[in-house]
Chain A
Amino acid sequence: AQKITQTQPGMFVQEKEAVTLDCTYDTSDPSYGLFWYKQPSSGEMIFLIYQGSYDQQNATEGRYSLNFQKARKSANLVISASQLGDSAMYFCAMREGLQGAQKLVFGQGTRLTINP
């Protein structure tokens, strides 16, 4: 069963606009963590933001914020004031549980293109 779903294979946004990348997840574990990674064309995986299932507030890191809606099981990434350098693949990932094997499960990714 698909645990992380990113429904937008590609998105095109004008520079300086805000953009929301969708992510829904599926888990029966009450303890989990949600991550967003950026993968530019050079290939490296860059950590952007983290949200824990028990966190009361939505996570923010600079221009990145995570719109966490627990009841809907969604964890959308919001990028404010997009820049040309934001063009990349973006992956949503989930870690289930707090103990034991805690691998990350990734979604299929969204390719974001920022147009000047």
Chain B
Amino acid sequence: DSGVTQTPKHLITATGQRVTLRCSPRSGDLSVYWYQQSLDQGLQFLIHYYNGEERAKGNILERFSAQQFPDLHSELNLSSLELGDSALYFCASSVSGGDGYTFGSGTRLTVV
């Protein structure tokens, strides 16, 4: 157990639907990063939150949004899902902006 908890582990949903992925960072970590891993795009950075504030955005689609709550857990919302959104979504946490990163076990999203 890495200390970073992601739920659910697996998610199957239909095109056009909306899903929410949840991440609880390791105790004491203030930063949460979201990544998307697909076969054709590799590991792509989506967004970074630090202590509730958005710090950086990567290749995140407008249909996707995220937030970090006062208890530091984070949610990634994916809407109007397309087949191409099928991927493994990771969150990672770190103490500050760039010390060791700990990854969760990921959420495997399948859009059918």
Residues of A within 8 A of B (CB): 33, 35, 37, 43-47, 50, 91, 93, 95, 97-109
Are A91 and B43 in touch, CB under 8 angstroms? yes
In the complex, are the beta carbons of B45 and A100 less than 8 A apart? Answer: no
Give 6 new A-B contacts, CB below 8 A, not counting A35-B101, A44-B2: A44-B105, A45-B90, A45-B92, A91-B43, A103-B33, A104-B92
User: Closest residue of chain B to A95, judged by CB?
Assistant: B98
Nearest opposing residue in chain A for B105, CB measure: A44
State whether B45 touches A103 (Cβ < 8 A). Answer: yes
The 6 A-B pairs at the shortest CB distance, nearest first, are namely A102-B98, A101-B56, A45-B103, A106-B43, A102-B97, A101-B55
Which residues of B does A touch, CB under 8 Å? 2, 31, 33, 35, 42-43, 45, 48, 55-56, 58, 88, 90, 92, 94, 97-98, 100-103, 105-106, 108
Q: How far is the CA of A93 from the CA of B2 in the complex (A)?
A: 19
Complex Cα gap A28–B45 (Å): 20
Assuming A101-B48, A104-B33, is B108 touching A43 (CB within 8 A)? Answer: yes
Contact A106-B42, Cβ < 8 Å, known A43-B88, A44-B2, A100-B55: yes
